[in-house]
Chains A and B, each alone.
Chain A
């Protein structure tokens, strides 16, 4: 074995090897490779993207790293702030964070700072060289970000709270190297992300939370789940978009959870929470300056708790939360934001069951609902948060209450199920939507109709509805909802149990075979164009994973596939609005007047 020398490391760098790979190959630590590089002057220079291969003079502030000799950029004498972007779009982290980064950069430029953006996603606005003062098109890894931070002079700090989970993951390493993270401190972020620490904080503040525990393997997890009581929500720690989350109802389902490929370790155990069945879920976005808290928006989910907030349809302002609970939510939001010493944005998720308000989680950073809140209320939430991070106070802004608006915004998710044959289509705690649309209007029904129209599936105003509800849903509330459709002139088609339930309650329905009962069955009827809307509610351990062939057929035929009663109820409001022909367009500028 030869002793390592600068030449071979330089060669590796010219071939694109990262410090992490070199550490793995040379059996050492990444930080050791980094030290070796710096000691031997193996650091990148920054080249300019100038459209002309340096033939003409260019002043574009658009750069990339190269392990070569000639540097093509200088670091100015101005005070700078580095903003880390969100990296590639993925499910759970998409365009919302690009929006937040761009608004942050713009706000900081207004404040007179030189802004430096680092990102590697070519689809974004944040990587338009017009947006920041300086753009580095580089990977968002500790190595690449550190190289830039150490190259740039007079860096006031780094902002990691607008790009989703990506930049947050880098913050500890960057702090270790003496770089300053602006906004909420990483210790406080850690308190929010660590279940135990956060639980303790809630106890101290006397705020209710669902019971919880942790487990490292099936045995300890089953023990914890039984102590809490089924159903429970299982998930690995530190994730965005609810990767590999599951609601389970018994011991064997816990075992199955561990059989799927999930990474569990002592440092990252499985989190186990009591699942509040049929609770109302609420999302809150707020801004805090350490002293005051501004509640930017409270959104009520149409779907019950248990469905990932990114996959839920959200209503702003809430329509059916009682004033006492709303007051409680505002109060808890303020308490938590202040206790976490938040400087900037915080998103908190609540569940309301039997008039008790529970806190599900808190994320002291920009959330995916921030753009929706801003578009609905007209308040530039990110701009305010960015300015607060750099020292402004909430009282410097003249802010009106979000719930003074006299119209409604609805955000509805978009799913890619058409691309993935035979996947389970019932919504759950794992996020799977790729994007969202918004409906904004003077009334709930109108906003709902617009949102649904924007999803591309549309709202049928005539025809038949296939209804299949589980035993839990065979109750008065369901009859009320179905009656709405009957009044709108729809015919009902239902399978055995549901059909009987409807007939017993005075609603005529045409019986149809389930998929395995005979032909023509419900899928045949969808194919034949006899069914225009599907209402199918799964609940409990078995039905949740059953009958998705109906859903699959509905998606293929672009038929609305509704899986919760609350969504069915909202949907009817929208249809009513369309039938009455009361749908108008209005620009945001008019709404904000």
Chain B
């Protein structure tokens, strides 16, 4: 289908300031979208309150507004610029929320403006747990047991049906702000109340815990003709319970059988069709029970996301650019692949390397009386991330660690270890056993420095099974780390002269 000629001016909404949970990945997607739409001859109007972005450079859009991203201000821009459509899928949750607000206040209707990229109904279906769960049930996919509640009494009623641990997620907040995992009734009450306060609509989801399950994400795209492609599969190194933004992630997925992968792929196609994202990219998250392979759909983002930036960089497939073109009517088979120039965008990317992403935290900036400030959970805390390529996981993993610029040159043995190799080697039998057990206990709580402790555990003679019991990190990943440690031990039998 050719591009739409009924549209002349398109308004793109940016993502506003950099906050934890929404960083410069949306400058990347927004910049691509502005360029792509201008390339197609549309007049592009942009609003973003963040001056440090490339997208707000005056030569990019035709009219650039550095103004607050609120319905009041966007309406003023609409009156001045008279756009035919708004593309709300490039600016993260901020843009999507703003678009929904414009719809709810009747502003879109009043000025006859169409949402492109994602329709109001699709956004609602994807964002409202209730509608999303209904939709998943309709197409025969499982979701985690959960309930939306607006007060702590209802939350407690649900708790009685599941028991601990239990997850609390406030509705409509960024990066899970105000959410958490409760292990006892006291924590439960605190987190529920905090979550209600954090939610703009005073609503939280109380949800059965899938802690310890494996977590996967698929970055997918769909066009108006229902063509569907998987751009990339991403596996979380950390099990469920750690926010994806705080998890080490790996692309392509490493521990799925082909059968399982195809199951996720088929499920993704059904999901994007049912939710009705007609044109563009989505991110779909799954949890897989390592014991029996049970698949549960966690959520879907009907927009480009942090993960789609990662998937774009990992594969070379420019998701945001293609999504912008799909939004104005092109189909995947009509858009040439940027890189090969000869194949169309409906060819799924194939990668022959491994990509690892590691988050960067700045906990030392927020020294606090709270000893658990650096515990990783459902609320994202990292402020940035690095990615690296390797021919295998081990290479990409160590390269990513040294990319972080936090003083580490790889997975330990870099002069910065808490326990040096010599120290560990010189421990007596019982000290060794004690330290090993101490570390295995520590590893039960996800923290930013756990990967280094996995190395200490191996050096102290722990086996993969023991470390798995503590961390619930897939044994394939643990064995990769073991191989790194074994290589180190082998290197130590050599002398440099």
Contacts and interface: CB of A to CB of B under 8 A. Distances in A.
A123 B66 contact: no
A375 B495 contact: no
B52 A592 contact: no
Interface string A116-149: 0000111111011110000001111100100000
Contacts of B496: 4, 26-28, 32-33, 36
Contact of A88 (B18, B197, B404): B404
B50 A437 contact: yes
Contact of A8 (B32, B68, B398, B490): B490
Interface in A239-281: 243-244, 260-261
Contacts of B318: 128, 130
A324 interface: no
Interface string B360-393: 1010111111100100000111011111111110
B56 interface: yes
Given A2-B493, A16-B394, A16-B396, A166 B54 contact: no
Residue from A54, A94, A434, A556 with most neighbouring chain B CB atoms (10 Å): A434
A95 interface: yes
B76 A584 contact: yes
A566 B339 CA distance: 53
A420 B383 CA distance: 13
Nearest to B393: A16
A261 B70 CA distance: 42
A166 B405 CA distance: 8
Contact of A450 (B64, B68, B349, B412): B68
B225 interface: no
Nearest to B374: A420
Interface stretch (B145-153, B209-217, B277-285, B305-313): B305-313
Contact of A438 (B50, B62, B392): B50
Interface residues on B, range: 35 or more
Interface residues of A, number: 119
B23 A123 contact: yes
Nearest to A63: B389
A368 B366 CA distance: 21
A102 B409 CA distance: 27
Interface in B159-216: 175, 177-178, 194, 197-198
Contacts of B466: none
Interface string A27-65: 110001100100000000001011111111111101011
A16 B356 CA distance: 12
Contacts of A90: 360, 362, 383-384, 405
B392 A14 contact: yes
A137 B197 CA distance: 42
Given A3-B495, A122-B309, A585-B76, A91 B65 contact: no
B387 A122 contact: yes
B317 interface: yes
Given A87-B403, A88-B360, A454-B68, A588 B52 contact: no
Contact of A53 (B352, B357, B409): B352
A437 B368 contact: no
A56 B51 CA distance: 40
Interface stretch (B263-271, B293-301, B424-432, B481-489): B481-489
A378 B59 CA distance: 10
Given A16-B390, A432-B366, A121 B28 contact: no
Given A18-B409, A140-B405, A588-B64, A89 B370 contact: no
Contacts of A3: 494-495, 497
B319 to A, nearest CB: 11
Contact of B340 (A51, A244, A436): A51
Interface in A572-591: 584-589
A68 B390 CA distance: 11
B41 interface: no
Interface string B60-88: 00111111111001001100100000000
A59 B68 CA distance: 41
Contact of A372 (B51, B65, B309, B364): B51
Contact of A15 (B49, B68, B77, B395): B395
B398 A15 contact: yes
Given A55-B350, A64-B353, A585 B402 contact: no
Given A439-B68, A587-B63, 6 more contacts: A14-B395, A25-B421, A53-B352, A420-B381, A450-B73, A588-B64
